[in-house]
Protein backbone atom coordinates (compact mmCIF):
# COMPACT_ATOMS: atom_id res chain seq x y z
CA UNK A 1 0.00 0.00 0.00
CA UNK A 2 1.69 3.16 -1.22
CA UNK A 3 -0.19 5.39 1.17
CA UNK A 4 -1.85 8.66 0.32
CA UNK A 5 -0.44 10.14 -2.87
CA UNK A 6 -0.45 13.78 -3.82
CA UNK A 7 0.73 15.44 -6.97
CA UNK A 8 2.35 17.58 -7.92
CA UNK A 9 4.62 17.96 -4.91
CA UNK A 10 5.53 21.48 -5.94
CA UNK A 11 3.47 23.81 -8.09
CA UNK A 12 4.32 27.31 -9.21
CA UNK A 13 1.62 29.52 -10.65
CA UNK A 14 1.47 33.15 -11.67
CA UNK A 15 -1.23 35.36 -10.23
CA UNK A 16 -4.50 34.81 -12.05
CA UNK A 17 -3.74 31.25 -13.20
CA UNK A 18 -5.51 28.12 -12.02
CA UNK A 19 -4.02 25.52 -9.69
CA UNK A 20 -5.14 21.89 -9.61
CA UNK A 21 -3.98 19.69 -6.78
CA UNK A 22 -4.59 15.95 -6.81
CA UNK A 23 -4.96 13.43 -4.03
CA UNK A 24 -5.28 9.66 -4.26
CA UNK A 25 -6.36 8.13 -0.93
CA UNK A 26 -5.10 4.88 0.46
CA UNK A 27 -6.50 1.78 -1.13
CA UNK A 28 -9.92 1.02 0.24
CA UNK A 29 -10.50 4.51 1.63
CA UNK A 30 -13.39 6.48 0.19
CA UNK A 31 -13.20 9.65 2.31
CA UNK A 32 -10.65 12.44 2.03
CA UNK A 33 -9.89 15.64 3.85
CA UNK A 34 -8.04 18.68 2.54
CA UNK A 35 -6.04 20.90 4.89
CA UNK A 36 -4.07 24.06 4.19
CA UNK A 37 -0.96 25.17 6.02
CA UNK A 38 -0.03 28.81 5.63
CA UNK A 39 3.54 29.82 6.54
CA UNK A 40 4.21 29.69 10.28
CA UNK A 41 0.77 28.23 11.02
CA UNK A 42 -0.75 24.85 11.75
CA UNK A 43 -2.86 22.86 9.35
CA UNK A 44 -6.39 24.17 8.89
CA UNK A 45 -9.33 22.11 7.69
CA UNK A 46 -10.79 23.04 4.32
CA UNK A 47 -13.14 20.31 3.10
CA UNK A 48 -14.23 16.73 3.69
CA UNK A 49 -15.44 14.58 0.81
CA UNK A 50 -16.52 11.08 0.03
CA UNK A 51 -16.85 9.70 -3.45
CA UNK A 52 -19.13 12.02 -5.46
CA UNK A 53 -20.19 13.97 -2.34
CA UNK A 54 -19.01 16.99 -0.44
CA UNK A 55 -19.75 16.29 3.22
CA UNK A 56 -18.38 19.42 4.89
CA UNK A 57 -16.86 22.43 3.14
CA UNK A 58 -17.04 24.80 6.08
CA UNK A 59 -13.32 25.58 5.87
CA UNK A 60 -13.25 26.46 2.19
CA UNK A 61 -12.88 30.10 1.17
CA UNK A 62 -16.15 31.28 -0.36
CA UNK A 63 -14.70 32.16 -3.74
CA UNK A 64 -12.22 30.64 -6.20
CA UNK A 65 -11.82 27.33 -4.31
CA UNK A 66 -13.62 24.11 -5.17
CA UNK A 67 -13.10 20.42 -4.48
CA UNK A 68 -14.36 17.20 -5.94
CA UNK A 69 -13.90 13.49 -5.50
CA UNK A 70 -15.30 11.68 -8.52
CA UNK A 71 -16.34 8.05 -8.63
CA UNK A 72 -13.18 7.25 -10.55
CA UNK A 73 -9.87 9.00 -10.11
CA UNK A 74 -8.29 11.22 -7.50
CA UNK A 75 -9.79 13.99 -5.42
CA UNK A 76 -9.02 17.41 -6.87
CA UNK A 77 -8.68 20.73 -5.12
CA UNK A 78 -9.03 23.54 -7.63
CA UNK A 79 -8.04 27.13 -7.05
CA UNK A 80 -9.05 29.60 -9.71
CA UNK A 81 -7.34 32.95 -10.30
CA UNK A 82 -4.68 32.34 -7.70
CA UNK A 83 -3.35 35.19 -5.58
CA UNK A 84 -0.15 35.45 -3.54
CA UNK A 85 -2.06 34.66 -0.34
CA UNK A 86 -2.85 31.20 -1.71
CA UNK A 87 0.82 30.25 -1.40
CA UNK A 88 0.80 27.44 1.15
CA UNK A 89 1.22 23.73 1.65
CA UNK A 90 -1.93 21.76 0.91
CA UNK A 91 -2.31 18.39 2.57
CA UNK A 92 -4.73 15.64 1.83
CA UNK A 93 -5.64 12.92 4.33
CA UNK A 94 -7.64 9.79 3.85
CA UNK A 95 -9.82 8.43 6.56
CA UNK A 96 -9.17 5.09 8.14
CA UNK A 97 -11.06 3.51 10.99
CA UNK A 98 -9.30 5.29 13.79
CA UNK A 99 -7.08 7.91 12.23
CA UNK A 100 -6.35 10.10 9.26
CA UNK A 101 -3.42 9.21 7.02
CA UNK A 102 -1.68 12.16 5.44
CA UNK A 103 -0.13 12.62 2.04
CA UNK A 104 3.19 14.37 1.53
CA UNK A 105 1.52 17.64 0.59
CA UNK A 106 1.64 19.98 -2.39
CA UNK A 107 3.55 23.20 -1.94
CA UNK A 108 1.93 25.92 -4.01
CA UNK A 109 3.88 29.06 -4.77
CA UNK A 110 2.15 31.98 -6.45
CA UNK A 111 4.47 34.45 -8.11
CA UNK B 1 -14.86 27.42 19.63
CA UNK B 2 -12.36 24.60 19.30
CA UNK B 3 -8.79 25.71 19.58
CA UNK B 4 -5.41 24.09 20.12
CA UNK B 5 -2.48 26.15 21.34
CA UNK B 6 1.16 25.17 21.30
CA UNK B 7 2.91 28.08 22.99
CA UNK B 8 6.45 27.18 21.87
CA UNK B 9 7.35 27.50 18.19
CA UNK B 10 10.88 26.27 18.86
CA UNK B 11 12.28 24.02 21.56
CA UNK B 12 15.88 22.98 21.85
CA UNK B 13 17.24 20.48 24.39
CA UNK B 14 20.36 18.39 24.76
CA UNK B 15 20.46 14.68 24.09
CA UNK B 16 19.55 12.76 27.21
CA UNK B 17 17.63 15.64 28.76
CA UNK B 18 13.88 15.47 29.43
CA UNK B 19 11.52 16.94 26.86
CA UNK B 20 8.09 18.47 27.34
CA UNK B 21 6.11 19.93 24.45
CA UNK B 22 3.15 21.90 25.67
CA UNK B 23 -0.37 21.73 24.27
CA UNK B 24 -3.52 23.41 25.58
CA UNK B 25 -6.96 23.12 24.09
CA UNK B 26 -10.44 24.55 24.32
CA UNK B 27 -13.36 22.36 23.38
CA UNK B 28 -16.93 22.08 24.58
CA UNK B 29 -17.52 18.42 25.23
CA UNK B 30 -15.28 15.45 25.67
CA UNK B 31 -12.09 16.02 23.65
CA UNK B 32 -10.15 13.47 21.66
CA UNK B 33 -6.52 14.53 21.36
CA UNK B 34 -3.57 13.46 19.26
CA UNK B 35 0.08 14.20 18.71
CA UNK B 36 1.36 14.12 15.14
CA UNK B 37 5.03 14.25 14.13
CA UNK B 38 6.71 15.26 10.91
CA UNK B 39 10.33 14.24 10.50
CA UNK B 40 12.47 16.02 7.95
CA UNK B 41 11.31 15.29 4.38
CA UNK B 42 8.63 12.89 5.59
CA UNK B 43 4.87 13.13 5.77
CA UNK B 44 2.84 13.91 8.85
CA UNK B 45 2.24 10.78 10.90
CA UNK B 46 0.34 9.94 14.04
CA UNK B 47 2.56 9.63 17.10
CA UNK B 48 -0.01 8.89 19.75
CA UNK B 49 -3.61 9.46 20.81
CA UNK B 50 -4.88 10.02 24.33
CA UNK B 51 -7.49 7.29 24.12
CA UNK B 52 -4.85 4.61 23.69
CA UNK B 53 -2.82 5.73 26.72
CA UNK B 54 0.22 4.29 24.98
CA UNK B 55 3.90 5.12 24.88
CA UNK B 56 5.40 5.45 21.43
CA UNK B 57 9.15 5.92 20.91
CA UNK B 58 9.38 6.74 24.62
CA UNK B 59 6.83 9.56 24.38
CA UNK B 60 3.76 9.79 26.57
CA UNK B 61 0.99 12.35 26.88
CA UNK B 62 -1.66 12.62 29.55
CA UNK B 63 -4.94 14.41 29.10
CA UNK B 64 -5.53 16.85 31.98
CA UNK B 65 -9.11 18.05 31.71
CA UNK B 66 -8.75 20.42 34.67
CA UNK B 67 -5.92 22.28 33.00
CA UNK B 68 -7.18 21.54 29.45
CA UNK B 69 -3.73 20.31 28.55
CA UNK B 70 -2.20 17.41 26.66
CA UNK B 71 1.54 17.88 27.03
CA UNK B 72 3.93 15.49 25.28
CA UNK B 73 6.80 14.19 27.38
CA UNK B 74 9.89 12.05 27.03
CA UNK B 75 12.33 11.48 29.90
CA UNK B 76 15.48 11.18 27.79
CA UNK B 77 15.63 12.90 24.41
CA UNK B 78 17.39 11.29 21.46
CA UNK B 79 18.78 13.00 18.37
CA UNK B 80 16.29 11.21 16.13
CA UNK B 81 13.47 12.96 18.01
CA UNK B 82 14.28 16.19 16.18
CA UNK B 83 11.14 16.98 14.19
CA UNK B 84 8.06 19.14 13.95
CA UNK B 85 5.35 18.16 16.44
CA UNK B 86 1.67 19.04 16.13
CA UNK B 87 -1.00 18.65 18.76
CA UNK B 88 -4.49 18.11 17.34
CA UNK B 89 -8.03 17.75 18.56
CA UNK B 90 -10.73 15.77 16.78
CA UNK B 91 -14.00 17.60 16.32
CA UNK B 92 -16.87 15.22 17.03
CA UNK B 93 -19.07 16.90 14.46
CA UNK B 94 -20.03 15.13 11.27
CA UNK B 95 -16.73 15.62 9.47
CA UNK B 96 -14.61 14.64 12.49
CA UNK B 97 -12.01 17.03 11.23
CA UNK B 98 -8.76 17.66 13.05
CA UNK B 99 -8.02 21.03 14.62
CA UNK B 100 -4.24 21.56 14.80
CA UNK B 101 -1.98 23.68 16.91
CA UNK B 102 0.69 25.80 15.25
CA UNK B 103 3.38 23.19 15.83
CA UNK B 104 6.62 23.07 17.80
CA UNK B 105 9.96 22.45 16.13
CA UNK B 106 12.00 20.28 18.47
CA UNK B 107 15.75 20.19 18.05
CA UNK B 108 17.88 17.75 20.02
CA UNK B 109 21.46 18.89 20.35
CA UNK B 110 24.23 16.29 20.63
Per-residue pLDDT tens digits for A24-40: 999 888 899 999 999 88
Mean pLDDT for all residues in chain A: 94
**A43, HSE (Cβ side, Cα atoms, 13 Å):** 32
Contact B97 A59 (CB under 8 A): yes
**Whole-number pLDDT of residue B99:** 94
pLDDT above 70: percentage of residues in chain A: 99
Residue of chain A with shortest Cα separation from B39: A104
Q: How far apart are CA B40 and CA B84, in angstroms?
A: 8
* The pLDDT of residue B91: 86
Chain A environment of B49 (Cβ under 8 Å): 98-99
**Segments in chain B below pLDDT 50:** none
Question: Whole-angstrom distance between the N-terminal and C-terminal Cα of chain B?
Answer: 41
Does the pLDDT at position A1 exceed 70? no
Rg of chain B over all Cα atoms, to the nearest angstrom: 14
Distance CA A59, CA A48 (A): 9
Chain A residue numbers with beta carbons less than 8 Å from the beta carbon of B43 are: 3-4, 102-105
Chains A–B, number of C-beta pairs less than 8 Å apart = 52
Cβ A42–B86 below 8 Å, yes or no?
yes
| Per-residue confidence (pLDDT) for residue B41, from 0 to 100 | 85
What residues contact residue A49 under an 8 Å CB cut-off, 6+ apart? A31, A32, A33, A34, A55, A67, A68, A69, A75
For residue A89, the model assigns a pLDDT of 96
Q: For residue range A11-27, list pLDDT tens digits in order.
A: 999 999 999 999 999 98
Amino acid sequence: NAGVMQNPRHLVRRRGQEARLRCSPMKGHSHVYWYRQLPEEGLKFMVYLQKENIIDESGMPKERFSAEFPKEGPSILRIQQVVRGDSAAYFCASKGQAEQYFGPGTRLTVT
Amino acid sequence: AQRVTQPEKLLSVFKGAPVELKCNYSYSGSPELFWYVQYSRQRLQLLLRHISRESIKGFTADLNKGETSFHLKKPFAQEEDSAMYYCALRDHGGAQKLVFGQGTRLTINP
